[in-house]
Amino acid sequence: MPHEQAEDTRVDWEGALVQRARTGDRRAFERLYREHAGRVYGLCLRMTRDPQLAEDCTQDTFINAWRALGKFETRSSLSTWLHRIAINVSLAKRRKSGRVESSPEEEEGAACEWTLETPVEVHEIESAIGELPEGARDALVLHALYGYSHIEAAHMLGIAEGTCKAQLHRARKLLRERLSVEVN
């Protein structure tokens, strides 16, 4: 089956599972969890840098999603909706743990492709991303890794678009320094 058709069919099943979960069907909700847990955990881990905290955030994300399923509009992306919840949960956990840092001054941020001039090993990049300041890391993860636009990423993080661009600019600069490679 061509990829496009398979994707369409998957989305149809997902809609059916969401509808069932809304009636209280936990088996349907478990299927949704199995489908999305990796992406949610990946995002939480990158935002918190703490595997245990990321597990807590992932669990809270799905608990909150279960509570709010009635508000989810099935025509929108479940993945994006779960990401929004995961980001809110992760930010709240970070605030609670006192790990809050101020945003930088807004500055001009260019549109980003995020390609590396020379190939770099995955673990090196992951490590460099992990060492970024929280604000810069959040914006980078959402924009460069998960493909959200400046506006979407800013909205998800609850910051101005200009601030998001500034954080990305900062992230690019720091990555360039830490990887010793040009980041375009």
Partner 1 sequence: MTEPSNTDRKVTSLRELPQSIEPPHDLWPGIEARLGAIPAAADGATPAQRRAVRMRWLAAAAMVACVAIGVWVGRGLLPGTAGSGVVAVNTNPPQAVQPPVNAVPHEVYVSDPRYQEQRAALVRGLQARLAALPPAERDKVTASLQAIEKAKADLEQALGHDPSNALLQELLVNTYQDEMRVLTDVHEASDPGRGI
When asked if residue 180 is in the footprint of partner 1 (CB under 8 A), the reply is no
Cα–Cα dist 17/12, whole Å: 9
When asked if residue 63 is in the footprint of partner 1 (CB under 8 A), the reply is yes
**Could you tell me the maximum CA-CA distance found in the chain, to the nearest angstrom?**
53
Enumerate the β-bridge partners of residue 183.
Answer: 116
Tell me if 72 sits within 8 A of 81, measured CB to CB.
Answer: yes
When asked if residue 178 is in the footprint of partner 1 (CB under 8 A), the reply is no
Tell me if 14 sits within 8 A of 35, measured CB to CB.
Answer: yes
When asked if residue 144 is in the footprint of partner 1 (CB under 8 A), the reply is yes
Q: Which of 30, 162, 176, 178 is the binder for partner 1 (CB under 8 A)?
A: 30
| CB 171 to partner 1: min, Å | 10
| CB 68 to partner 1: min, Å | 7
CA atoms within 13 Å, Cβ hemisphere of 49: 16
User: Per the structure block, which two tokens stand in for 151?
Assistant: 């506006």
| CB 61 to partner 1: min, Å | 9
When asked if residue 182 is in the footprint of partner 1 (CB under 8 A), the reply is no
| CB 30 to partner 1: min, Å | 6
Residues 64-93 touching partner 1, rule: CB under 8 A, are 66-70
Q: Which of 3, 75, 105, 119 is the binder for partner 1 (CB under 8 A)?
A: 119
Distances (CA, A) of 149 to 2, 4, 86, 183: 28, 23, 17, 18
Q: Which of 101, 130, 151, 182 is the binder for partner 1 (CB under 8 A)?
A: 130
**Which of these segments, 45-53, 85-93, 94-102, 162-170, binds partner 1 (CB under 8 A)?**
45-53
Q: How far is CA 106 from the centre of its chain?
A: 22
